[in-house]
A and B are shown apart, each in its own frame.
Chain A
Amino acid sequence: MKKIKTTLALLLTVFTCIVLPSCGILPVSEAPKVSRPPVSASEGGYTIDTVPEYKNDAFVEINNNVPYFESSEYMTEAYEYYSDLDELGRCGFCVACVCRETMPTEKRGNISQVKPTGWQSIKYDFVDGKSLYNRCHLIGFQLTAENANEKNLITGTRYLNVEGMLPFENMVADYVKETSNHVMYRVTPVFNGNELVARGVEMEAYSVEDNGEGVCFNIYAYNIQPNVVINYADGTSREQKGGSTSEASQDSSDVKKYVINTKNKKVHLPDCGSVASIKSENKKTVTSSLSELIAQGYSPCGSCLSKQ
């Protein structure tokens, strides 16, 4: 019996590893044709520590505005790659060879079902459009027509989206539309440690056919919102008013049932597998917003709430 089980397991392994991928049945993570940019000083790149502190400008130049692409990575055909989410559910770098073929042919679809890591529905009256956060495309919709691709959406402030990223997307989109040339384009969210909200994004672009004469930049755009203090660990925030602060208004849509462990101060979704193991005297079901619970000293469960 044991031999039969072993044989079946072996056959299953072969079928899973060789047969199904070759048939295109299983989703297989494709290796990117373009590497991620260097993200440490030892690799010759920048680090989160070397990015200058925000000072009124939505972005700063990196590496004298020269992208980190290798010349062997330049392409003249449509290409897109979106990194798999990491163990915390966070996006990684995305890269594309942007051309007319990758651009949208219809209007943008609904993306509200995607909840990027650190997502909070918070509004401030002084923020353009009121919502502090946007589901921020790493590679803008106008460039590669990606809608609700969770590998391409991060929790980004309105300021990052509109003042930091959009101007560069506009520049690339116009260039491609007018020349029909190709632009290598890579966007990398920059997280600090295990934080769920990116501190910023690196954006690189290089026009291929004219060797960067049309488009060439490498910048870091800050994921900040003027007059708002953001907790990048979980996306919670508060208004900055001189020395004093006031809490943001919370969307009612963010208020829902959670199970809290009053002993270890963890918050879980009701259907989390860990809930069953909480002793009844420590377990409590509450209706609240996650940010309120965090403000009370609770921390989100790393399993069920890693994407919240």
Chain B
Amino acid sequence: MILAICIDDKNGISFNKRRQSRDSLLIKDLMETAGERKVFIGSYSLSLFSGYEDRITVDNSFIDSAGDEDICFVEVTDPSSFIDRINGIILYRWNRHYPSDKKLTLDMSAFKLDSTEEFRGSSHELITREVYVR
């Protein structure tokens, strides 16, 4: 799978079992980056993908069901436990500081930065997209 995940300035993922932030233009960017690839999400993320329902697969067990090149958008879960299944990462940086009680602890040394892109979000001045490959 290709992991897609958002983090803040302190590598935070979530706080109190809730996402730190959201941005409609980030979702748009993710869907454009995905292209023809399948995008898996958990039911918790469904409200973010309004307008893209026909292009996503809602599956709370997507870690097991996603194919090698499918994109899995992960929230409120530290993906370290399934690092062996991750073939690449689309990492979004909010470039802001939020509270967090769950952080990204993934060992990034197993991946190589392939590209970096910055764009303005709908409620964020600057979002950074980093793409990593194995």
Interface residues of A (CB under 8 A from B): 59, 61, 65, 162, 166-168, 170-171, 173-175, 177-179, 213-217, 219
Contacts and interface: CB of A to CB of B under 8 A. Distances in A.
**Interface size classification for chain B:** 10 to 19
B21 A170 contact: yes
Given A170-B98, A178-B122, A216 B16 contact: yes
Given A65-B16, A216-B16, A217-B15, A174 B21 contact: yes
A215 B22 CA distance: 12
Given A166-B97, A217-B99, A219-B99, A171 B123 contact: no
Contacts of B122: 177-178
A174 B23 contact: yes
B99 A174 contact: no
Interface in B82-122: 96-99, 122
Contact of B20 (A59, A171, A219): A171
By CB atoms of chain B within 10 A, which of A65, A173, A174 has the most?
Answer: A174
B103 to A, nearest CB: 13
Nearest to B101: A61
A167 B99 contact: yes
A167 B18 CA distance: 14
A60 to B, nearest CB: 11
Contact of B18 (A61, A166, A178, A214): A214
B124 interface: yes
A179 B48 CA distance: 10
B24 interface: yes
